[in-house]
Amino acid sequence: MAEPSWTRLWRAAEKARRQAHAPYSKFFVGAAIECDDGSIISGCNVENASYGLTMCAERNAISAMQLAGRTPVRIVIVVDHSRPVPPCGACRQVLAEFAPPGVEVRSRTLDGQELQSTVGALLPFAFSGAFLDERKPRKKR
């Protein structure tokens, strides 16, 4: 894909990062997804005093993408950190549920350091609904 598409994604993710609600960690994250129709859907992290209720930028973007009925083509993450940060484990699992393994995922710092991967490389042994379909009924003892 042409570089201008990546540029649009980086801008959308950075704009989302500025809207993050991270009063506890001070770790502001923005994510943007380019969808199959060319649209871009963004998300930011939203923390909660009850830490387990915190939502990551990637999962918020995936939720909005699902609501819009779209499919991801590319995913970017922007962080204000000294190095690029890949998605957390929970986000990797959610990405694996909604994006094919070959979808490219890029993380970037504000000064332009970048980490490139794919959904499949981030979580090579993702749990999937296929595991549930393959369950065999247990024998009663």
Active-site residue set: 58
Place of tokens 């001070």: 26
The answer to whether 74 and 33 are in contact (CB under 8 A) is yes
Name the β-bridge partners of 116: 106
Which residue in 79, 67, 65 sits closest to 110, CA to CA? 79
Which residue in 121, 67, 114, 115 sits closest to 96, CA to CA? 121
